[in-house]
Amino acid sequence: MTDDTPLRQLLDDRLTAGLAASELAPEAADLLRGMLPEPTPERTGRAGPVYLRSITAAGWRGVGPETTLDLPPGPGLTVVAGRNGTGKSSFAEAAEMALTGLNTRWDGSNGKARTAVWKEGWRNLHDSTVPAVSVRLTLDDTAEPVTVRRTWYGAKVDEARTTVERADGTQQKLEESIDASTLSLYRPFLPYSELGSMVDGTLSALHNTLARFVGLGQLGDIDDLLAARVKACKDVEKRPGVLKTAATDALAGLDDQRAVEAARALGGRTPDVDAVRALLDRDVVTAAGADVRLRALATLSGPDEQEVAGALARLREAVAAAEDVRHSDAEDARRLAGLLESALEHRRRSQNADCPVCGTADRLDPAWAEGARAEIERLQSQAAGAEAARQALGAARRAVHDLVQPVPELLRAEESELAGLWREWALCRSLTDPAELANRVERVAPTLGAACRQVSEEAARKLTDRNTAWRPAAVRLAEWLDATEKAAEAKDRRKKAEAARSWLRTQTDELRAERMAKFEKQSQDVWNKLCESSSVSLGSITLKGVAARGSVHLGVSVDDQEAPAYSVMSQGELHSLALSLFIPRATHDDSPFGFLVIDDPVQSMDTQKVEGLAAVLNECARHRQVVVFTHDTRLEQAISHLGIEATILHISRESDSVVSVERRSDPVKQAFAEARALSYDQRLPQTVADRVIPAMCRLALEIACTEAARRTLRDDHGLGLAEIEERVAPLERTKEYVALALLGDSSGEPQADVESLYAGGWALINELNASSHHPGLPTVDDRKQLVARTERLATAIRRGRGTGLSQGGAR
């Protein structure tokens, strides 16, 4: 989905082509080139896959005493089942909280911020255990797991700390194991709270995520810069209108020929700028020298306090970010990485593991080489981080320097307090030390600004005193003239920015269409499996607009008629749509996360959609570790119905929030294991054995037949899960179970089919039925034999189903 070509190079190539085709003016192209994203350091390799080995919670949500949910690492489907209130979602949220430090239930990122009651309900009410959640992860196919643990030290959900511990007990930083930006981009968590909210509203958040996902997020940043430039220019263009009104009001009623000429120049549809300029120039020539100076001082302005405050804040942020890294650190890291690379190259070329420096034999063994490669990657990352911090600091320092203006011409020869302050201000531009620069600017700027305002006000007051009637109007005219000239320049800049923005949006639409094609296809495939029988179809998925004003357009149709997405979709279809948008992003080839955690996706889905969901999850599980939490037994039924291999974990919750996890085994094998254990009990009273063991054997046989029946009805008769359950539910007699399993009809006569699968099987079924009324297990050996024979029959039915017997005989 993401193109291999860096975005900077891609846009630069298109700019060159646009210039050649005269689609873009050179000035607009230059403006865009100045905004292109800086090249990012190349990664030495993609980390992953990351798998979950376990999720642990204590004192968290519905979990009281510490409980661990062990998971099979690697690709495969795991279903964590249990009734509502057993703590399933607590484990799903624990995994998300441990890795991200966030949870959509509380942080409001799903557009539905919770009340204080929800925010305070994260701590378990029945247990005084210090709240903690953790996940054990397998990184980079390594056998040694790491544990990411989040422990709370305060009463608020954000008063917590995160630690990462290796298998040997040493600790590392979270960012050394999990990249936060990658986790955000390919986020493998889909909590139930997001199933509905993911497709609510304008979808601006989803737009931004998908734009970043297809590698075009920085286009929105460039558009924001151009939009800000356009707005700033428009603000400058509006200012002459306000000042013209002020100047016209000042001229009204003046008994002065100059006022008459000025009013005439301003009064037309298009004000006569040249006439106003000539009038003011003539007035300047005839005025006394002091008058000229006072007018200049009256328009004098110092540093913009808001701009200075903003630039200083950014500078200090950059200084703080650079405190942990130094330029020498970057150079040392690069030099050390180079030395290690040279050693690795020497080892490869010489095929000799002896140290070239000290001569120690086998010093450069495979373990050393593996460690050296890891150290090279760490050093390169350290160098890149140091360089990025240095560049950011330099940019922030230049931004502050750009605010520092030289001493105005009228103050250069003066020795006044204002001139001294301005010289001190101008010297700030020569300061290179960021901290010294920030302190100096913070001290001088407000003092200079206040002094400029005082001098300007005094000059304006003196001008008014010198010529009470005309001078105020002349000052207003001068302000209008200056603003008009600046507006003309701003208009030119705005047109260039608008042209650049228009061209960029065209390129954005083209690039997005290209890169969204694969995502769109994958989303449609997921939708078609989930909603195979639905009359609602999902077509194009189009990103529109940019950044905060962006949205996602979903091409939805009902019976081939286009329709608004949300107005025609049921809640189950909305959840299916959310899954269709989530799965392609979370399973992208570039994602280092080999797992998906999905909480309660079955709610609001009809039975056919549940079957589709099982098929989708099974497809994802071929290459991903898929962990699904659900209270709805239909998902388990669909998994069994479709013959999907899955690990089933059952969660139960007792009093005081004691949570337990049990792995469910094959129900047929489990039933026979229980019967077998009872048959071995020599102390079992005869009356109990006569009744209980045959009943247990019948139950185990009926479970096996039910499983076979579901497959017969699915594969041979093409029935869906709901229709199958309608046929299975009324069964009461063992022979009905056998008939449905082998013939697909519970009223049929399966004797011949049973005998062809297992000689003596029909007699065995009659024996089991008769045992309810006639004792037939006089010895322990008889009991054992009955269980063994019944198990062989059950196995034969399970294996024989689908070999053609339901069509009338063996092949």
23 has pLDDT over 60 = yes
* pLDDT for 71: 92
* pLDDT for 100: 87
**Of the ranges 578-582, 748-752, 797-801, which is most confident?**
748-752
Least confident of 164-178, 183-197, 617-631, 673-687: 183-197
* pLDDT for 135: 94
pLDDT one-digit tens code per residue, 264-297: 888 878 898 898 888 888 776 555 455 677 778 8
Q: What is the mean pLDDT of residues 401-412?
A: 84
Other C-beta atoms within 10 Å of 253: how many? 8
- Output DSSP code: residue 807: G
* pLDDT for 805: 31
pLDDT one-digit tens code per residue, 528-575: 877 776 666 676 666 666 655 666 666 666 656 665 655 666 777 777
Closest CA to 609 of 727, 529, 537, 723: 529
Q: Please state the pTM of the whole predicted model.
A: 0.57
The C-alpha atoms of residue 455 and residue 435 are separated, in whole angstroms, by: 30
pLDDT one-digit tens code per residue, 123-156: 777 777 789 999 999 887 666 789 999 999 888 8
Other C-beta atoms within 10 Å of 51: how many? 22
What are the boundaries of each domain within the chain? 236-301+450-493, 305-403, 667-807
**Of 329 and 34, which is predicted with more confidence?**
34
pLDDT one-digit tens code per residue, 193-238: 776 665 554 456 666 666 666 666 677 788 888 888 899 999 999 9
678 has pLDDT over 90 = no
Q: Please count the residues of the chain.
A: 811
* pLDDT for 811: 23
The C-alpha atoms of residue 269 and residue 102 are separated, in whole angstroms, by: 59
pLDDT one-digit tens code per residue, 470-491: 778 888 888 898 998 999 999 9
Average pLDDT, the chain: 79
**Of 511 and 768, which is predicted with more confidence?**
768
3-state secondary structure 749-800: CCHHHHHHHCCCHHHHHHHHHHCCCCCCCCCHHHHHHHHHHHHHHHHHHHHH
Instruction: Name residue 564's amino acid.
Output: P
Instruction: Name residue 258's amino acid.
Output: R
713 has pLDDT over 80 = yes
Q: What is the mean pLDDT of residues 351-365?
A: 71
